[in-house]
Chain A
Amino acid sequence: MLQTVAPLLMDALANAALIFFVAFGLTLTFSVLRILNVAHGSFYSIGAYVAASAGLFIVGAGLNPWLTYPSLILSAAAVAALFGPLVEKTLVRWTYGRGEAVQILMTFGLFLILEDLQRMVFGVNSLYEDTPMALLGITEIGGVVYLNYQILLIALAALTLVGLRIFIRHTRTGRLLHVVVADREVSEAMGIDTGRMFTLAFTLGVFLAALGGALATPTTGVAPGLGAETMVLAFAVAAIGGLGQVEGAALAAVIVAAARVLAIYFAPELDAVAPYLVMLVVLLVRPYGLFGKAAVRRI
């Protein structure tokens, strides 16, 4: 019994960890900026491309293979530093206070631009670089083989969840973010530089998406179209958890990953449908997600 369930559980949790990063980024951006970033998935795939290229370079140049680990994080940081402030200050800032239609369209335009830019820079071939995963090897517990990299992913996701909680609750910048989420106008009147907070939150969101992509490359590689696929998955997870709810995103990631793993195991043809079916069912019962709060209708 354990021999069947344990690997499934591990797969589900590792999968959940990967989705969690990107969905968390989406939900964080939404909670602070109140915009749904349709280009979020592109940051995931750009992170993946940069990390895979960096990994291939390190291995190709014959450097110490353990350098691939810092390069995963640095790739994500580089993507965030490049795109976060730039995109927020030029495009996204302009849409604040305008309708959702404008915000969704603006970021969709950005998504289209980024899709083509990726093709131009990284080509149309898929990249695969699994040194980090190969380095860690496997662990055997009770006759069941686990990939150590999967365990690392789960630990990293848990650490990120706890770390960001502490950041938001117990540091000055984090508390300022919290205040801006609670009431934008009042915080502005109190002298908080909300523009800076928005840039910070957006960049953090981009970083999480890129980090998710970077961490996924050793297991899945990266190919064109990854951004569009990840986008809907992140949407589904963020919506199930309730947009803007951090713990919700974590729980939803586990639910979605579990649904996918179960689908792959018992009904492979339903694999791709599973996340959206879960999303549909959850949103029909609780339109604001598992952790979301109902908004009052405007008059």
Chain B
Amino acid sequence: MPKPLIGLAAGVALLAALPLAVPFMTFVVTLAVAKGFAALGVALLLRAGLISLGHAMYFAIGAYTTAFLMQKTGITDFAILVAASIIVATLAGLAFGAFLVRYRAIFFAMLNLAVSMVIYALCSKLYGVTGGTDGLRVGVPTVFAWVPEKAAFDTFLLYATLGLMLVLGWLGHRYLKSPLGHALAAVHTNEVRLEYLGVSAWSTLLTAYGISAGLAGLGGALSAMAIGHVLPEFAFWTESGHLVLTAVLGGVGGVAGPFIGSIFLELVHVVAVGVAAEAWNLIIGVALICVIFFLPRGLFGLIEGRRGKTGGTDL
């Protein structure tokens, strides 16, 4: 068995076993991995050199889709909710992405920000649909014919989330190794050359943008189920900033990076809440600046570097 696979197996086993030893970690790990999906979406775009300051909107769209379907239509099945959230977020991503991916650099960041702030404002103002600033409550979903208790569902949600992480992580890995995935990095290095080679930068980026929106939507749906409540703040620009931060902290060099970043952040959060709850933002702000200074390839870069691999992806 190759070394990275052993590391992966050990990591996943640890995540799966940790909640058995410490029950409240069920929630922490579920939320961490859920946010990891959204951070992975952001990381895909970062590979193309595009920084989105608005991806929290797809996270919110996924979360609101789940909450809305459960409250207004009575659909409670886990699989349908997750699938619907991914589809709605992906469609929204393709619709907005169709014009957003024409822009680069700061303009891309700012237009994403503008769209996400419109979504944020709509979420907090349309009381009839979104519950306004109160948000929407999310009940306990059912799993096919099984109607679980809250505790049982939380356990199920953890393992379902971990399972999804493995499946989608592998698919994401295949995607990055495919020509379409390599074209992303080529957009970053030299977009015009890519187009001379006959590859459309627009469709390459739109594909990535759609995938990233879908991933963020999935993260939102899983978070909504774990937290039991959705709020307009999910779409606020600082949340988008946190997603980028998570991706960069973990490293955008591989699929595992954003998940490592997200789990690391949530674990530090758990510790920090006990020790210095007031200074949480301060701590991650300093951590972010340290990563930018000293670890341009993120935590994942540490692992990758020790394997002696070259050609990691910098920012």
Contacts and interface: CB of A to CB of B under 8 A. Distances in A.
Interface of A: 36, 38, 91, 94, 98-102, 104-106, 108-113, 115-117, 119-120, 228, 231-232, 235-236, 239, 243, 269-270, 272-273, 276-277, 279-280, 283-284, 287-288, 297-299
A108 B315 contact: no
A102 B252 CA distance: 13
B265 to A, nearest CB: 12
A112 B111 contact: no
B289 A110 contact: yes
Contacts of B46: 101
Nearest to A106: B292
B49 interface: yes
A279 B278 CA distance: 34
The list of the 8 closest CB pairs from A to B, nearest first, reads A112-B285, A113-B285, A109-B288, A116-B282, A273-B121, A272-B121, A112-B281, A109-B289
Contact of A101 (B49, B237, B279): B49
Given A105-B244, A109-B289, A116-B278, A243 B118 contact: no
B165 interface: no
Contact of B125 (A105, A119, A228, A270): A270
A141 B49 CA distance: 56
B237 A100 contact: no
Given A231-B237, A273-B121, 12 more contacts: A100-B105, A101-B49, A104-B53, A106-B292, A109-B245, A111-B285, A116-B285, A119-B278, A272-B125, A276-B121, A280-B115, A297-B191
B169 interface: no
A105 B279 contact: no
A112 B192 contact: no
Contacts of A283: 107, 110-111, 114
12 contacts: A38-B241, A105-B245, A105-B315, A109-B284, A109-B285, A112-B282, A236-B117, A239-B114, A243-B106, A273-B117, A273-B118, A283-B110
B50 to A, nearest CB: 8
B122 interface: yes
Contacts of A101: 46, 49, 51, 244, 248, 315
Nearest to B99: A284
A273 B293 contact: no
Nearest to A36: B106
B113 A117 contact: no
Nearest to A101: B51
B103 interface: yes
B84 to A, nearest CB: 26
B109 A273 contact: no
B218 to A, nearest CB: 24
Contact of B284 (A112, A239, A280, A298): A112
Contact of B117 (A36, A115, A232): A232
A273 to B, nearest CB: 4
Nearest to A278: B114
A277 B118 contact: yes
B175 interface: no
Contacts of A102: 292, 315
Interface string B17-49: 000000000000000000000000000001001
A228 B241 CA distance: 11
Given A101-B46, A116-B282, A235-B110, A108 B292 contact: no
Contacts of A236: 114, 117
A266 B163 CA distance: 50
Nearest to A279: B114
B107 A287 contact: yes
A117 B289 contact: no
Contact of A120 (B99, B103, B122, B278): B278
B51 A228 contact: no
A192 to B, nearest CB: 25
B90 interface: no
B293 A120 contact: no
Contacts of A273: 117-118, 121-122, 125
Contact of B241 (A91, A100, A108, A239): A108
A214 to B, nearest CB: 23
A248 to B, nearest CB: 14
Interface string B232-271: 0000111001001100100000000000000000000000
Nearest to B126: A269
Contacts of A110: 285, 289
A196 B126 CA distance: 49
B1 interface: no
A104 B53 CA distance: 9
B281 A115 contact: yes
A151 B278 CA distance: 40
Nearest to B280: A116
A109 B113 CA distance: 17
Contacts of A297: 191-192
B151 interface: no
Contact of B286 (A105, A109, A115): A109
Contact of A104 (B109, B124, B281, B284): B109
Contact of B289 (A91, A104, A277, A288): A91
Contacts of A239: 110, 114
A10 B105 CA distance: 37
Interface in B271-310: 278-282, 284-286, 288-289, 292-293
A90 to B, nearest CB: 10
